[in-house]
Amino acid sequence: MNGQRKKIGIMTGGGDCPGLNAVIRAIVKTAINIYGYEVVGFLDGYMGLVNNRFRKLGTGDVSGLLDKGGTILGTTDSFDPFAMEMDVNGEKQEKDMSGRIADNLRMHDIDALITIGGINTITIAHRLSQKGINVVAVPKNIDNDIPGTDVTVGFISAVNTAAHALDKLHSTAESHHRVMILEVMGRRAGWVALESGIAGGADIILIPEIPYDIKAIARKILERKNKGKGFSIICVSEGCRPKDQAEADKESRNIHKTLHGAGSMIAAELDKIINLETRVTVLGYLQRGGEPSPSDRILSTRLGVEAVNMIAQGDYNKMAGIVNDQLTPIDLAEVAGRCKYVPIDGELVRIARNMGVSFGD
């Protein structure tokens, strides 16, 4: 690779979230202003690396990005260069195109690649590192389910969005004496529902880690009604499961099965048990959009700067993490293919229970 002026690549992969542009900004400014590196941004995640779609990035390109949502580099979800679907003689076949990534990086004289993404993006980055590519990862994920770091880029902003939605649902729930269900993202881990539920004063929080009993949920709602509280707020992770489904998934080893329309399914079950109107709000992609919170802007800047510092130190094939609020490099092997679940006996679950929150168990 280039023996003189270092050149680094950047890409954003997986679902978008608030703070991605802030990371890009921090990387470019640090790389150019502090180290004199050249920076190449690859477009649309690993797809851009395979197809050699890129743009050179200067400090002017990242001006004004700190509060801008999305990613100027674009991204793709569920794209795996090790199993890229291609049309071969009219048939769909999967082909390993990771070698093309290595070739393109060599062509650009890229010394190291910074991958900004979630579990899937980091897992692929780890596999690329095993092919001799120097990689540094930055963890972003509104689900906050990446091991090795206390918090991920985008999570705090997503929690803020969900908590504000719960605040708004409170007033209409109380006015109409209704049960309001807010469904938030969290297919495998329930961090968004847990933290936004606590912050937004939810009465019931349902997360994938704690399978629920619909009768226990109904009892909680009726208990509140009997105490003069004619409304209830339920915050639901999209991946939450009833106990019977959880047992079936466990036996079939399909522990990450997604229940589509979890909020609507719970509402339909409650309608059979209690005599209260139930309404469902699915927050969906509103959690991914918009400007990052001040906390996310600071986190994004810290991790972006650290990623470049790690490259300068030759500390490759690691993720820039935050442990006990301290920047801490984590080996990609300790992150790839894993998930950080909510500990069901952890502090946040305990304090929520102490506040009278039901987890439907």
pLDDT digit string, tens, across residues 255-303 = 444 446 899 999 999 999 998 889 999 998 998 989 999 999 999 999 9
For residue 157, pLDDT beyond 70 = yes
Q: How many domains does the chain have?
A: 2
| Domain region containing 41 | 7-153+292-323
pLDDT of residue 159: 97
130 and 104 in a common domain: yes
Tell me if 83 is assigned to some domain. Answer: yes
Q: What angle do CA 144, 148, 153 make, to 5 degrees?
A: 40
116 and 44 in a common domain: yes
For residue 88, pLDDT beyond 80 = no
pLDDT tens across 302-323, in order? Answer: 999 999 999 999 999 999 999 9
255 and 127 in a common domain: no
296 and 273 in a common domain: no
Tell me if 21 is assigned to some domain. Answer: yes
Annotated active-site residue 331? The verdict is no
113 and 171 in a common domain: no
Task: For the chain, give the mean pLDDT.
Answer: 92
DSSP result, 173-230: HHHHT-EEEEEE--SS--HHHHHHHHHTT-SEEE-TTS-B-HHHHHHHHHHHHHTT--
106 and 31 in a common domain: yes
To 10 degrees, the CA torsion angle through 297, 301, 302, 308?
Answer: 160
* Full-model pTM: 0.92
pLDDT of residue 245: 78
Catalytic residue among 143, 145, 203, 296: 143
